[in-house]
Structure 1
Amino acid sequence: MLRAGLYIRVSTEEQALHGYSLTAQREALTKYAQEHSYCIVDYYMDEGLSARKSFTKRKEFMRLLDDVKADRLDVILIIKLDRWFRSIRDYYKVQEILEAHHVDWKTVYENYDTSTASGRLHINIMLSVAQDEADRTSERVKFVFANKIQRGEAIAGIVPRGYKVENKHIVPGEPKDVEMVQDIFSKFLLYGSAYTTARYVWEHWDWNPAPKTIKNLLKNPVYIGTYYGVENYCEGIIDKDTFAQVQEVFERKVTTKSAPTGRIYLFSGMLRCANCGRLMSAFYAPNSGKSDGRVYYRCESHARHGYNVCTHSKHLNEKKLEKMLLENIGPYIDQYLIEYRAKTTASNPAKAERAKISAKLEKLKELYLNDLISLDEYRKDYAQYMERLNQIVVVDYPKLNTLALEKFQVQDFQAVYTTAGREEQRSMWRGIIREIAITQNNEIERIYFA
């Protein structure tokens, strides 16, 4: 008996309505295999995937090819050629693999013959027609979508959580759904972890999302009103500062690396020696043969070059640092916000002086244009003003997004932190702290919040 692999693909509901559903294809292929005394090895079913998508992106198709390469199949059954391919280039790539392993393919609703030149020509013509039809359909769909986007209309009935379609437009949904989305953004800024946020949503809202779902939600610009790259496409339900800060958290998380041993160090990449300015490295110290060792951080400059480069010789115990931060995170944030507001609201004499000189330069220009002073007078005064302007150095305190810190709830953070795993705990610290300067006596000199 010939060993058969039955390949099934459906991409849209329309195909299902026309009799191409997974069930309909499976029944037709099974019946054909039984009538021709084939031994069915397996069913390979790709759902919701276009035939124009590269075959390498079709998971079940790739599993089928793996079985071909392993010589587990003699023939592949499909209902029609368009279930198989709509790309001539991809077809011949796969056909080369099939021929190398002496595997044939058959369509149960059509008659194709790959053993003759005329048969292969017929396949080429049909694939060209199918590819052209798919290209035209794609162009029509893109044109329709572009027009809908220009008119501010929804291009599908399914919209992100927190929204609904009303009169063909995307508008904020039920108040409860909007509140849930806003709470998700707020809690992610608190926890810094999609996993921990997903768990929170499951415990407090009527939804059980996967961490990846939460991550996709948090990265979706529709929540600030941007849809398919069009700003103000719809009403945003998340303020732009909050959305930007969430994206910054994700960017910082990308730089987080795990240790080669697989151990998770809570403050890896966050601690800097206040003495020499170099990042402190983490290491694990076994505890005299006991099962639980300890994690320490040390100045890398001193560890490598000794006192000649840096005098920070003490090792910082991770447990002690963790306890210190948990107990004092609230006061640290309060002090940081007080200092930040004081610096950003303080008067800046240098900045005011530059503004005065710039105003005088504008006035000088008007005098010259109105023929009230000569060109020589203009050049002389202009050179004097510019010389004074270049001597003034303005140091602006960097503008930071303090929204998450202002909303930070110490008790909520501590409650979740105690039940989280080490990876989630590390994400929570990275969500609020960018860097910590450690003195050579292993005291916190300064915390730079994210």
Structure 2
Amino acid sequence: MKSAYLYVRVSTDEQRRKGFSLIEQEDRLIKYCEANRVKIIEIFREDFSAKDFNRPEWKRLIRTIKKKNKRPDYILFIKWDRFSRNVALAYQMIKVLQDLNVQAIAIDQPVNFEVPESSVMLAIYLAIPEAENLRRGLNCSDGMRRARKLGRWPGRAPVGYTNLIGTDGRGFVAPKQPEANQIKRAFEEFARGTFSISEVRKMLMLDGLQCSRNNFWKLLRNPFYCGIITVPPNAKEELQLVKGIHEPLISEQLFYDVQIILKGRHHPKVLKENSKILFPLRGVLKCPYCHKRLTGSASKGRHAKYCYYHCITPKCKGRFGIKALHQSYEEELDKISLR
């Protein structure tokens, strides 16, 4: 009696469009095994796209086959599009299974690998799903491009906005608070030319904004926040800038001021700490080890700057934290009283 693993797969998109069901596929495969006297060892249920074989359940299936001494004779599925939607990767996986002495069989599209002419039918069965995927992707990208040209945002709303559905059933984006005000503040603070990008991000994170360093950099370069939607270039058209129908968070002038700073045409006026205020005792105190004068400087750590008084002699070990030294100096001053 032959043995088999059953593999049923559906993607969320297919379930919504075509009503495919894992239960329906599984039921048909079980009936096929009962009719053809095939023993079912295990059933693998997948909810993942078939664009490649980097799927959790499929990888577990291959690991199970390699691990067990007695391997199944077949891997059964309904159609070849349940197996793969990529022709090149499908042929590679078929070869891997053949090396493991396991045969892949689609019960609705049977292929006899012992007959050379059957390879033509296999090529057709594998090519049709890939062509469907490519056509669907092209239609989707064309639709998103048309939406951008009309000033509509077709995808997930950027930070500071949220996706909503209008009374006409069409989606649109609207400002989301408090993120919208935080984004507006980010542009305003950076446009002053006083703070760097990391400093502005830290200020907003203290205010509650959750945004990674890389995404914050992209955020400041995104014209969507001033009401402009970009239509990316393709083989026939160049990059286009379209006035969006969404509510902008900042003015175009503020956005372009920020871009000038980002491109390096204007260097921000970074505030420099006054060393005389930070180290008022510099040049006054003497090192207890070599009796040379103490100077002061700041060391940059991972999260902050740390200030120290240290000896002017490079090899001297005299080094004192600014807080402890100032505190002890003030304690000594408190002991002094005028007659």
Report TM bin, short chain: 0.5 to 0.7
Please name the residue that 1:60 is paired with. 57
Change (3 A) 1:31 1:227: farther
State whether residues 3 and 41 of structure 1, in contact with CA within 8 Å, keep that contact through their aligned partners in structure 2: no
CA distance in 1 between counterparts of 2:179 and 2:89 reads: 42
Partner deviation per Cα, 1:345-393 (whole Å, 9 max, x = no partner): xxxxxxxxxxxxxxxxxxxxxxxxxxxxxxxxxxxxxxxxxxxxxxxxx
Which amino acid counterpart does residue 4 of structure 1 have in structure 2?
A: A
Which amino acid counterpart does residue 66 of structure 2 have in structure 1?
A: K
Instruction: Give the SS at the match of 1:134.
Output: helix
CA distance in 1 between counterparts of 2:296 and 2:32 reads: 78
Question: Structure 1 length normalisation: TM-score?
Answer: 0.43
Which amino acid counterpart does residue 21 of structure 1 have in structure 2?
A: S
Q: Is there any run of 5+ residues in structure 1 with no aligned partner, and where?
A: 199-210, 249-273, 283-296, 315-437, 445-450
Give the superposition deviation at 1:146. 1.0
Instruction: Give the SS at the match of 2:47.
Output: strand
Give the superposition deviation at 1:442. 7.0
State whether residues 228 and 242 of structure 2, in contact with CA within 8 Å, keep that contact through their aligned partners in structure 1: yes
**Structure showing greater relative contact order (alpha-carbon pairs closer than 8 Å, 6 or more residues apart):** 1
Please name the residue that 1:5 is paired with. 5
Which amino acid counterpart does residue 142 of structure 1 have in structure 2?
A: S
Please name the residue that 1:202 is paired with. none
Give the superposition deviation at 1:40. 3.4
Give the superposition deviation at 1:90. 0.3
Please name the residue that 1:402 is paired with. none
Question: Structure 2 length normalisation: TM-score?
Answer: 0.55
Please name the residue that 2:67 is paired with. 70
Please name the residue that 2:138 is paired with. 139
Please name the residue that 1:235 is paired with. 247
Please name the residue that 1:172 is paired with. 174
Partner deviation per Cα, 1:181-228 (whole Å, 9 max, x = no partner): 448879x956849xx969xxxxxxxxxxxx9xx869x76958735667
State whether residues 162 and 181 of structure 1, in contact with CA within 8 Å, keep that contact through their aligned partners in structure 2: no
Give the superposition deviation at 1:55. 1.9
CA distance in 1 between counterparts of 2:302 and 2:203 reads: 26
Please name the residue that 1:117 is paired with. 116
State how 1:26-425 maps to structure 2 within 5 Å: 26-35=26-35, 36-47=37-48, 49=49, 51=50, 53-56=51-54, 58-71=55-68, 73-155=72-154, 162-166=162-166, 168=170, 170-172=172-174, 178-182=176-180, 192=205, 224=225, 233=244, 234-237=246-249, 275=296, 278-279=299-300, 308-309=314-315, 311=317, 313-314=319-320
CA distance in 1 between counterparts of 2:137 and 2:314 reads: 68
Give the superposition deviation at 1:60. 2.5
Partner deviation per Cα, 1:73-132 (whole Å, 9 max, x = no partner): 442121111111122210122122111211111112221222321122321233233323
Change (3 A) 1:276 1:311: farther
Which amino acid counterpart does residue 38 of structure 1 have in structure 2?
A: K
CA distance in 2 between counterparts of 1:275 and 1:123 reads: 78
Change (3 A) 1:192 1:5: farther
CA distance in 2 between counterparts of 1:44 and 1:442 reads: 68
State whether residues 3 and 38 of structure 2, in contact with CA within 8 Å, keep that contact through their aligned partners in structure 1: no
State whether residues 151 and 242 of structure 2, in contact with CA within 8 Å, keep that contact through their aligned partners in structure 1: no
CA distance in 2 between counterparts of 1:172 and 1:62 reads: 41
CA distance in 1 between counterparts of 2:64 and 2:17 reads: 31
State whether residues 46 and 61 of structure 1, in contact with CA within 8 Å, keep that contact through their aligned partners in structure 2: no
Aligned-pair identity in percent equals: 21
State whether residues 76 and 106 of structure 2, in contact with CA within 8 Å, keep that contact through their aligned partners in structure 1: yes
State whether residues 275 and 310 of structure 1, in contact with CA within 8 Å, keep that contact through their aligned partners in structure 2: no
Which amino acid counterpart does residue 164 of structure 1 have in structure 2?
A: L
Give the superposition deviation at 1:8. 2.6
Question: What is the count of residue pairs matched by the alignment?
Answer: 246
State whether residues 88 and 127 of structure 1, in contact with CA within 8 Å, keep that contact through their aligned partners in structure 2: yes
Change (3 A) 1:152 1:102: same
Change (3 A) 1:441 1:38: same
CA distance in 1 between counterparts of 2:228 and 2:46 reads: 36
CA distance in 1 between counterparts of 2:250 and 2:316 reads: 47
State whether residues 10 and 21 of structure 1, in contact with CA within 8 Å, keep that contact through their aligned partners in structure 2: yes
Give the superposition deviation at 1:180. 4.9
Change (3 A) 1:55 1:197: farther
Give the superposition deviation at 1:12. 4.8
Change (3 A) 1:311 1:77: same
Instruction: Give the SS at the match of 1:4.
Output: strand
Instruction: Give the SS at the match of 2:177.
Output: helix
Q: Is there any run of 5+ residues in structure 2 with no aligned partner, and where?
A: 186-200, 233-240, 263-294, 328-339
Instruction: Give the SS at the match of 1:308.
Output: coil
CA distance in 1 between counterparts of 2:103 and 2:325 reads: 71
State whether residues 10 and 16 of structure 1, in contact with CA within 8 Å, keep that contact through their aligned partners in structure 2: no
Change (3 A) 1:226 1:21: farther
Change (3 A) 1:281 1:5: same
CA distance in 2 between counterparts of 1:16 and 1:281 reads: 49
State whether residues 2 and 39 of structure 2, in contact with CA within 8 Å, keep that contact through their aligned partners in structure 1: yes
